[in-house]
Each structure stands twice: as structure tokens, then as C-alpha cells.
Amino acid sequence: MTSLLETENADNFSDKDKILLENILKKTGPSRIKYALGAGSIITAVLTVWLGLFVTPNDEHLGDTVRLLYVHPPVAWAALYLAFGTTTLASLLWLWPKTRSFFWDKVAGASAEIGVLYLALTLITGSIWGRTTWGVWWTWDARLTLTAVLLVLYVAYLAIRQLDGTSKAKATRNAITALFAAIDVPIVHFSVLWWNTLHQTASVLTPGLHLTVPLSMGLTMGLGFLCTTLIWGWMMKARYDIELLKAVTGEMESQRAILQRRSEL
Amino acid sequence: MNSYVIAGYLIAIVSIVGYSLSLILRRNSLRKQLQKLKNDSEQNTDDK
Amino acid sequence: MFRDGWAVASKDLKIEIRSRVLAMQVMPLTGAILIIFGFALGPDIGRLRQNASGLIWVSILLCSMLAVQRSIAIERECGGEFLKLTGYDLAGVFIGKVLAVAIEVFLIAIATIAITSVVFNTGLHGIMNILVLIAVTALASISLSSAGIIFGAMFISSDTAETLLPLIYLPLTSPVLLAATKASLPTFSGSGSIKLIWVGILFLLAVAYFSVGSISFEPLLEDY
């Protein structure tokens, strides 16, 4: 990476550096979009929990358990398609020479970390669902197994992100790992069709867009999807800010160390 | 209400809120660190 | 590109034939793994046959990792440049490396299947099953070697390559393991009929791993 800072004296910054720091502090500080995303997340989350736990009716077969459906599919969707989809796209944009920018590497890493959190929640809520409806915490159902594999893959991806190297080599390595990991996502998606096992296929909204459940349940589930999406957006901004700040402070500190060293000689 | 359902909701809420808080704290401490570096340099300039 | 690929592949295979590591170390290892499975799962031959498909593919997967490491070791000895400076087309180098490892994995698979047919008493049950098995093995070999070459090359200069490679290679290839096991289950257990959808999935996986690998190889090397 070409140096962000043009410092020539260990204790002083050039004017250009000052503007850059000012900019980064402003960028990572409070902003309207952050408040909007944060407020939206909180409102939709509170509404989803309230509607999901207290307002919607019990299912005639599943009873209370149906309430997990306002959490499980939304987090699964946000993990598999929103978070890992963003990671894949950002990785491709890094690998493509015309759009190559460290911005994409930071976006890919941020989204993958949130995806891992969401995917872990998907497995946990799914496991609770399994305990109440199938009687077991875990079965070696194809979708469950492949989802667990996916979690391991993205944890490995996050581990690979921590490895040393020049920043360009690191970003390329991350992007390639992300692309390989992404191959598993469509397999998880189609697994319910290919394997004829326990996990049910999408059943609330049929392909013809006919709602098969009461309207209040459909709306609550839709709100759940909106909620996980907004939370993802808020977390993305926060996680990206951290990456940006880490890059600048790291750069500054190494720069200072070099200059200090030079002044001692 | 079914305690499994409650547990599912609680785990989801706690982990999302916990992760969000950790993000806020990490961002704030990094910002403070950067602000301090910037202030230090300004101080030095003023001294001279 | 393909001529370069063939040149690289035959070079790697010649080195492998000369060193005999594949024949003298990896093939006996797959036998050892199968015998350990036999110990662990008990003397009930019926149970072993029932699970033979999974056991065979797990041992192939583990041994394929060694074939990948061998192939990467050849390059490491030459400075980890992957023939970058010799004028070969990089896409050709990738094809060649993948082809050589895929052929090795294919041979390992044949040895594994031969050993199981003796120690687990599995048959092959008909010419159709054998044809499907050959297709399954070839497709799985391409997937395994494409992923293996890329991640082997990625960690070629890393101190912890021995632990990093399995960490990513095993979960990454487990969809291949799953599909190959399902596709050859009836062949080894002798019950049920083959579902061709598994061969289709293996084909899609082979295309996916190979194409992701080929778009990754050049950027991967350009930064080292």
C-alpha cells in the first residue's frame, strides 16, 4: 500500500496528513446515516419481538414454536445471501483489476464477520427449532451439515485474514479464499431440494407469491427480514470504520517507529 | 410460553446487542487513539 | 496454453514416478487408513460394507491432501515461483499442476477402491456402476486438485502451511466428499440404485472449483 501519510518528522504531521486525519475522524464519527440505520434497527427489532412473541397467533400444529420462524429465516437469509453475497461480490471487485481498491477488501472482511455471527445464530435458532419439533438438537440433515461446514469455512476465512503479508498480497489471498468459500452457499441453498431430508423447503411464500399463513404472521416475518437487513447495514458501517481506523493508526505507528529509528541513527 | 422459544429470542438479542456494543467500544477507543495522536502533534507544533 | 499445461503435468508426473513417493508412501497410507477404520468399526463386515462409500472417500480426501503437498513441494524447491519466469503461460501452469494432481488422486482412488474390495468385501455390481464410479472419481479428482493447488500455492511460503492447508482444504472439499459418497453408495453397498443427480452435482462442483481456481491463480502469483 502506498503510504497514507507523508510525515517527515516524528512529532509533526504535514498539512496534508492533518486533513486526512480530520477526514477520517469525521467519517468515523456520528453521522445521519448511522443514526438512521441504528434507529431503524432498534424500532424494527422491538416491533418484531413484540409482534413475534405476543401478538401473532399460535400455529395449530406447532404451537408456540412457530414464533421461532420470525427469527430463524431472517438471520439465515441475512447471513447466506446478504452478508456472504456482499463478501463474494466485494472479493470479485478486488480481484478485477479495474475496480481494485482496498475499500473492497475491508468491505468483504466486515461483511464476513457479521455473516459468521448471523450464521451461528441461524444454527442456534435452528437447533432449538429442531429440539422442539423433531425432538433432537442436531441431526445430520444435509442442510444442517452443509451450513455447519459453511460456518467453519468463513471462520477459516477470518483466520486467514489475520495472516501476515504485504497488504496487497493479503487482500488477494482473502479474496480468493472468499470465492472458494462462496461455492458452498448455493449448495446450502439447493440442499433441501437435492437431499430429501428433514429440513423443510421454503413454505411461507410459495413461488407464485401466495401467502400460505395468516397476514399477521407474514407481516411479522417480513419485518424480521427488514430488521436483520438494517442491523447488517449498521454493523457494516461500524465494522468498516474500525478497519479504516486500524489501517490509519497502524500506518501512523509504523511510520513513527521508522522516523524515530532514523532520528536516533 | 415455551421456554425454548424464549431462549431462542434471548440468545439472538443478546448476541446481536453484545456484538454491536463491542463494535461501538472498539470504534470509540480507536478514534480516541487517533485523536490523541493528532492532538499531540498539534501540541508539538505550538511549542515550537 | 494447453501445450504448456501438458508439459507441466508430464514434468510433475515424471518427478513423481522417479521419486516413487506416491506408490511407496501414499498408497500404503490409504491402506493403513482403511484398516484403522476396520478396527474402529468392528468386525461386522455388513456394517463396514454399508459405510464403505464414506470410508473410501474420507481416505481418498486425506491422501489427496498429501498429493497436493507433494506437488507444492516440487515448486517450493524451485523457489515457489511456479515457473513464472520460464515463459510458460500461467493459465497453462495451473492446468498442468491440476492435471498432474488429478491423475495422482485418480490413481489413489483406484488403489483405495481395490483395497476395500478385498478388506471390506465390497463388489462393484455391474458395468453401469463401474462407469458411473469412473466419472465420479474423475470429477472429484478435478475439484480436489483445483482447490488443493490454489491453497497450497497460497501458503507456500508460510511457516504454518502444514496446519493452514487442512484447516481450509477439508471443509472446503467436504461438499465433494458428500456428493461423491452419495453417488457411489449403491455401488459399494450393493443396495439401492444410483441417483444420477449426484453425478450432476459433482460435475457442477468440478466446474466451480476449476473455474474459481483458474481465475485465482494469476492474481495469487502476481503478488509474491
How far is the CA of C208 from the CAs of A16, A232, C72, C182, in angstroms? 46, 28, 22, 19
- Closest residue in chain A to residue B18, using alpha carbons only: A117
What residues of A are in contact with residue C178 (Cβ under 8 Å)?
Answer: 142, 145-146
pLDDT of residue C169: 94
Res A201 pLDDT > 80: no
Helix, strand or coil, per DSSP, at residue A222? helix
The rounded distance, in Å, linking the Cα atoms of B9 and A76 is: 14
Give residues with Cβ within 8 angstroms of C141, minimum separation 6: C64, C101, C102, C103, C105, C106, C109
Is A128 near chain C, with CB under 8 Å?
Answer: no
Query: What's residue A28's pLDDT?
Result: 86
Chain A contact residues (CB < 8 Å to B): 11-13, 18, 21-22, 24-25, 28-29, 45, 49, 52-53, 63-65, 67-68, 71-72, 75, 117, 120-121, 124-125, 128-129, 131-132, 231, 234-235, 238-239, 241-242, 245-246, 248-249, 252
pLDDT of A54 reads: 86
* pLDDT tens readout for residues B1-48: 788 899 999 999 999 999 999 999 999 999 998 888 778 776 665 554
Contact status, residue C30 vs residue C59, Cβ threshold 8 Å: yes
Instruction: Please indicate whether residue A227 or residue A203 has the higher confidence score (pLDDT).
Output: A227
User: Nearest chain A Cα to C221, which residue?
Assistant: A169
CB contact under 8 A, A146 and C224: no
Chain B residues lying within 8 Å of A241, measured CB to CB: 27
A130: cell is: 429442531
> Average pLDDT over chain A, rounded to whole?
85
A65-80: average pLDDT: 90
pLDDT of A168 above 60 = yes
CB within 8 Å: C172 and A181: yes
Mean pLDDT over residues A9-15, rounded? 61
Name the pLDDT band for A1 (thresholds 50, 70, 90): very low
CA distance C147 to C205: 11
**Mean of pLDDT values over A167-186:** 93
Q: Do B4 and A25 count as a contact with CB atoms less than 8 A apart?
A: no
pLDDT band at A197 (very low <50, low <70, confident <90, very high): low
Per the model's pLDDT, the better-predicted residue between B45 and A89 turns out to be A89
Q: So what's the pLDDT on residue A166?
A: 84
The average pLDDT across A87-100 equals 94
Helix (H, G, I), strand (E, B) or coil at A212: coil
Q: How far B47 CA lies from chain A's nearest CA (Å)?
A: 11
Nearest of C140, C128, C151 to residue C53 by alpha carbon:
C140
**Contact residues for C106 (Cβ-Cβ < 8 A; gap 6+):** C137, C138, C141
Chains A and B, touching by 3 or more CB pairs within 8 angstroms: yes
**Does the structure show a pLDDT above 70 at A202?**
no
Q: How many CB atoms lie within 10 A of CB C118?
A: 10
Please state, in angstroms and rounded to a whole number, the distance separating the CA atoms of residues C209 and C129. Answer: 25
Residues lower than pLDDT 50 in chain C: none
CB distance C129 to C51 below 8 Å = no
Write down the residue that cell numbers 407469491 correspond to: A209
pLDDT given at position A25: 87
Among A148, A112, A91, A173, residue whose Cα is nearest residue C164: A173
For residue A108, pLDDT over 80 is answered with yes
Instruction: Place A181 in a pLDDT band, splitting at 50, 70 and 90.
Output: very high
Are residues A248 and B34, on separate chains, in Cβ contact within 8 Å?
Answer: yes
Q: Which residue of B has its CA nearest to A68?
A: B5
Contacts of A21 in chain B (CB under 8 A): 34, 37-38
Verify whether the Cβ–Cβ distance C164 to A160 is below 8 Å. yes
Model confidence band, residue A217 (pLDDT cutoffs 50, 70, 90): confident
Facing C150 at nearest CB: one of A145, A168, A176: A176
For domain A29-264, give its CATH number from 3.40.720, 3.90.1530, 1.10.10, 1.20.120. Answer: 1.20.120
Complex ipTM: 0.90
Dihedral in degrees, nearest 10, Cα atoms C118, C119, C120, C124: -20
pLDDT, residue C18, reads: 87
Question: Given this model, what pLDDT does residue A6 score?
Answer: 57
Note whether C168 contacts A95, CB cutoff 8 Å: no
Helix, strand or coil, per DSSP, at residue A139: coil
Over the stretch A225-253, which tens digit does the pLDDT of each residue have? 999 999 999 999 999 999 999 888 888 77
Interface test with C, best of A144, A172, A191 (most C CBs within 10 A): A172
